Structure 1
Amino acid sequence: MTVGRCTHGVELRDHTVVKRYTSWTRGEPHREWAALSLLAEHAPGLAPEPFEAALEADPPVIVMSRLPGQVVRGMDATGEQISAIAAALNRLHQIPRPVVDDLEPAPWGPAAAVRKTRAWIDAQPELGSDPLVREVFRAGSAWVHSSAADQLLTNTFPTVLGLADGNHANVLWDGQKRLVRLIDWEDSGRNDRAFELGELTEHISRLDGSLDTELLLDCLDLTPPEAERVHSFRRLIALGWFLQLGPDGPATPHNPPGTLERQAERILHLFA
């Protein structure tokens, strides 16, 4: 959920993409290369194909295939496109567990999100005087410090390879082949599947275009307990973005006026 962080530059060639990292303190090049290599073996075609890497160079560089298509961010996604997103996610989440267990944990996951959201709540961010916004802050504060949020720290379901970044710009629609691929794996790692789905459905990029998240979740093979866990993570992720959208918040410069109020309405819907 980092805002305004740029960790790489990209050179687009005819058939390849050259990615040069400007920041790699969290092992971004190694994470991306590991994910792309794993995907090439266990889910070929779901992500760019890795060609070569200089992971210890300064700066580190990865060369990968260039994929055709249009990012979902900013798009009014159709039912066909939403079904394709679900198919891509199901395929990603079906990578064998022993393979996933060998991965490093993703840097952005349940523990980090709960900890950071509680810290933002406790810091009492300036959110203006709108009564609805204040109501949401009170409700969110009570929930995030409750046992319901504590339960998110224990996962009884198999972990998955995750992007750990719900930005809809990481979802690529190929209109010719009528399928979805996933890009930008620098934050990837072993993660909680329910967290990954909460991150995707509630990332602030959802406000740029439209994507029916309820339809997306209906297309996924979730058991009732998993669906309930996803809903709780949706609350957590939505609340985290809400807390960054005050007048002086770090997410405010990247979003149009009125985003805070729209996010407050979203949270009320999720808490209903």
Structure 2
Amino acid sequence: MDTQWITDFVQMQGASFVINLVAALAIFVIGRWVVKLLHGFAIKAMQRGRLDPLLVKFLGNILFALMMVFVVLAAISQIGIQTTSLIAVLGAAGLAVGLALQGSLANFAAGVLVIIFRPYKIGDYVEGGGVSGTIDDVQIFTTELRTPDNRKIIVPNGQMMSGAITNYSSHDTRRVDLVVGVGYDDDIDTVRRVLESVVADDPRVLADPAPNIRMSAMGDSSVNWIVRPWVQAADYWDVFWEMTEEIKRRFDAEGISIPFPQRDVHVYHHPEKADEASLER
């Protein structure tokens, strides 16, 4: 039996496969080099556009991954593998993985929203997702916060974006809200003068917007005053604590009382009922 044609066919097919394999490797190597080049150009363009560094990194990684997918598919197609079937298999696998990782995908989507819309950035003090603290890092799936007592809290981005987010650092200035209670017997003009003096003597208080000092309510046990000066956001807590302490000192010096909650109790005596009770004994 003449097997020469079989040998020639195998050799021809082998040579063709080797040529295609070399071409596929060349496509992959050159394509990867071109992808790196385009990726670098894209990163520089986004940096020149002064985009957020985290957004630049995120978009750069996505762009690199998408271009590499095209390169790999082109290389596989050169070998002779049908990419249509491969794409269908990858799509089905991606669907199965997506169903199994719904929570992670939700956190990923929330991370994309955080990076695009920037409700907070690194260094901001925020309250959201049931926690509060300073933003230390923003990643695709999680956000890391540092509490005032130096604890690290890692919150899924889906949890952070599922409710209201209060960003205390988004503006340069903040208003300090103090409520001060004085006695009903204290002179109103004296109280106002002392509070205005305390606010005016603090150099951290801004002139614009002007501080607001008003008698706000007559409570059960005290006359309540609001003291609302504006300060730089970085000075908020220092002014809050130190101004509260200074108000107490000035009130003591001026003889202004700070009443504690109290209630008047009226006791009524009924002689007839008292006599009946003694007779029963």
Q: TM-score, normalised by structure 1?
A: 0.18
Q: TM-score, normalised by structure 2?
A: 0.18
Radius of gyration: which is bigger? 2
Greater RCO structure (CA 8 Å; 6+ sep)? 1
* Structure with the larger helix share: 2
